[in-house]
Amino acid sequence: MRLYVIYGDDFGERVVGNLINFSNFCTSCGEACGHCRIEYGSFASDIVGVDRIPANLPNFIEEPEKYLPKNPPRCDIIIAIGLHQDLLASLPLLVEKTQAKGVIVPLEDPNWCPPGLQKQVEDELNSMGVAHAFPKPFCMLEDSGHNTIIDQFIRKYKVGKPIVQVTVDNDTITRTKVLQSAPCGSTWYVMKQIEKRNINGINERISEAHHAYPCTASMQVDKTLGDTVLHVAGYAIRGAVQEAISKATEKKTELAQKTQKIGINQTT
């Protein structure tokens, strides 16, 4: 799969850094780093182009194509992050040039793409037969189950809404595993920070780690969400951990019941 990233916000560098997974991408643990991200590998070879759009653009752009890359690479998916709204409106032009089959527009800030603009771009992409997603935030991107190219992107790069596993012993999280990370890479850090922690009150520790990474999603209330984008991102990782804890404790209970049943059968 060929990925092309075009961005106007620093968040774009995090997304690219997570996919490349260079050695000093995540420094959140400092000297205590256990190199947990080694198992993720690197997808640098899949990134065919990265373009940063300057921040000092006019408020209104009459000819957006003048500010878009003149020779963008052919790709399968365009990831457009934090672009000027007039450039975002011209995204279909970029799709034509790159022959992209899918477009992902992460919305980490309510001001990046108003609902009206989103519908306009979605309608144009639909008419072109191009798959698209506007996750708000990026860590809410989920597999649709229809095997679209965006679903394939999620599965291959293991990014989107966090999915994790934990091992629980005596109400303590003893091991963690990241199955699917937030695209910024924060899930890896959060999971390391909750190891050897009691599951009671774990939400507070998750929130602390999530903020400390730090999550850079907006603290502005989004009208369509009814909450801040940052809070929604926090709910995503908390929900993932709580689901993993529930599965781990249920599995442990089932195993204990089976063991007890075997013991009873052996004594009768």
Tokens read off for 107: 């919305």
Distance CA 122, CA 104 (A): 11
pTM for the complete prediction?
A: 0.93
Q: What is the pLDDT of residue 256?
A: 67
DSSP tag of 196:
T
In this prediction, residues 18-42 reach a mean pLDDT of 90
The vertex-67 CA angle with 57 and 223, nearest 5°, equals 60
Query: Domains in the chain, ordered, with CATH?
Result: 3-157 (3.40.50), 163-266 (no CATH)
Summarised one tens digit per residue, pLDDT across range 1-15 is 999 999 999 999 999
d(CA 125, CA 1): 20
Residue type present at position 228: T
CA distance 82 to 192: 29
User: Residue 252 has what pLDDT?
Assistant: 72
Going along the chain, which residue ranges are E strands? 3-7, 47-52, 77-81, 102-104, 131-133, 163-169, 172-180, 221-222, 227-228
Orientation angle between helical segments 202-212 and 229-267, nearest 10 degrees: 140
CB 83 within 8 A of CB 104: no
pLDDT at 33: 87
Tokens 């679209």 locate to 148
Interatomic CA distance for residues 57 and 64, integer angstroms: 10
pLDDT for 88-108, tens place per residue? 999 999 999 999 999 999 999
At residue 232, the pLDDT reads 98
Question: What is the overall mean pLDDT for the chain?
Answer: 94
Hey, what's the torsion of the CAs at 8, 9, 10, 12, to 10 degrees? Answer: -70
| Per-residue pLDDT band at 41 (split at 50, 70, 90) | very high
Query: What amino acid is encoded at 263 in this protein?
Result: G
- Element at 205 (helix H, strand E): helix 202-212
Is the pLDDT reported for residue 211 higher than 90? yes
